[in-house]
């Protein structure tokens, strides 16, 4: 296909890519992707249903978990059409407007998930450091305001990304590196100066995920200090055990994200396959694993699920 012509901007198309060199087995590759999407959607939907219907789970920790499940559901839904479209139907074309829309939702939901993980770290700190005032500090109205701030913050910082991309002229090869649209991938297709886009994209990463991960680290330093003040060894282990699920969610989210960012900024000579795999991991693994981890590690949630579906 010819390169995208800036004089026909509204009719221009990008071509999405699957796994290079594996086009003949795309149908087989679609099977694990389908399973991951089904497990992600069912798992997060079950989490939301259980928390909504079980009054004993109407606590700050589980309300924050429901926020995490909503963002994970959103990420799965935002990426399903293009990923399965490629591997099931070899549908590679996507219009610029559709690409910018998907790009917005992916980055917005990732930014929001980062904020929710930070709130969950704050929740664990309050629960361990000041358990007697836990319920009075994290009231339902206050939690609702925190959730609203997370959403507004995500919208405010991510909206400029597609708007800045719309100002660019696209006259180079229009084949994207992934099966979904990402800001840094679309930027490379432009023949205009992308300095502003690059600086803003990096600033968004640093001021959202970078800052959030730093604050989460500080929260856990304070949690460790609070735990070390507990005299009983058994109580120390119990307190730390309440953080295991959240730590797993943090590692599942930030590890591939950091890897993708480092490869894009400094790994120009790295294998394209590695970048593609890390891209899939960063988008698909957290929504898949978070409900599993929390269902296994949170006793009250696990008991509620068993009581509801396996009684």
Mean pLDDT of the chain: 88
Which tops the pLDDT comparison, 240 or 159?
159
Which tops the pLDDT comparison, 78 or 269?
78
Res 126 pLDDT > 70? yes
Q: How far apart are CA 195 and CA 271, in angstroms?
A: 25
Q: What is the DSSP string of 19-73?
A: STT-GGGHHHHHHHHHHHHHHHHHHHHHHHHHHHH-GGG-SHHHHHHHHHHHHHH
Res 23 pLDDT > 50? yes
pLDDT attached to residue 9? 44
Tell me the two tokens of residue 236. Answer: 């120390």
Q: How far is CA 209 from CA 147, 215, 224, 284, in A?
A: 16, 10, 22, 18
Nearest in space to 249 (alpha carbons), one of 117, 108, 109: 117
pLDDT attached to residue 267? 62
Q: What are phi and psi of 93, to 5 degrees?
A: -80, 140
**pLDDT band at residue 8 using 50, 70 and 90 as cut-offs:** very low
Question: What domains can you pick out in the chain, each with its CATH number?
Answer: 11-309 (1.20.1070.10)
**What average pLDDT does the segment 62-73 reach?**
96
Query: Mind listing the pLDDT tens digit for each residue in 215-268?
Result: 999 999 999 988 888 767 777 887 788 889 999 999 999 998 888 877 776 666
pLDDT attached to residue 311? 66
Q: How far is CA 172 from CA 91, 179, 187, 195, in A?
A: 21, 18, 11, 17
């Amino acid at each position: 296909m010819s390169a995208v012509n800036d004089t026909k901007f509204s009719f221009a198309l990008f071509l999405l890519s699957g796994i290079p060199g594996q086009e003949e087995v795309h149908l087989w590759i679609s099977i694990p992707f389908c399973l991951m999407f089904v497990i992600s959607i069912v798992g997060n939907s079950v989490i939301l249903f259980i928390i909504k219907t079980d009054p004993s789970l109407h606590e700050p920790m589980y309300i924050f978990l429901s926020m995490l499940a909503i963002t994970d559901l959103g990420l799965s839904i935002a990426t399903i059409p293009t990923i399965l479209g490629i591997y099931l139907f070899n549908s590679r074309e996507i219009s610029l407007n559709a690409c910018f829309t998907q790009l917005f939702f992916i980055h917005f939901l990732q930014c929001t998930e980062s904020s929710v993980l930070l709130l969950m770290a704050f929740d664990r700190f309050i629960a361990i450091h000041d358990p007697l005032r836990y319920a009075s500090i994290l009231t339902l109205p206050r939690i609702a305001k925190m959730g609203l701030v997370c959403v507004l913050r995500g919208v405010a910082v991510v909206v400029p990304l597609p708007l800045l991309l719309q100002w660019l002229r696209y006259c180079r090869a229009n084949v994207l590196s992934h099966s979904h649209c990402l800001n840094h991938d679309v930027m490379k297709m432009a023949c205009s100066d992308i300095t502003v886009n690059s600086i803003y994209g990096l600033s968004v990463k640093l001021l959202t995920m970078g800052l959030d991960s730093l604050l989460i680290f500080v929260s856990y330093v304070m949690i460790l200090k609070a735990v070390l003040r507990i005299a009983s060894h058994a109580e120390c282990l119990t307190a730390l055990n309440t953080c295991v699920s959240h730590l797993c969610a943090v590692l599942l989210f930030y590890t591939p994200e950091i890897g993708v960012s480092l490869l894009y900024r400094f790994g120009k000579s790295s294998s394209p396959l590695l970048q593609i795999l890390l891209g899939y991991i960063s988008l698909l693994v957290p929504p898949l694993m978070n409900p599993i981890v929390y269902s296994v590690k949170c006793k009250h949630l696990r008991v509620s699920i068993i009581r509801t579906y396996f009684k």
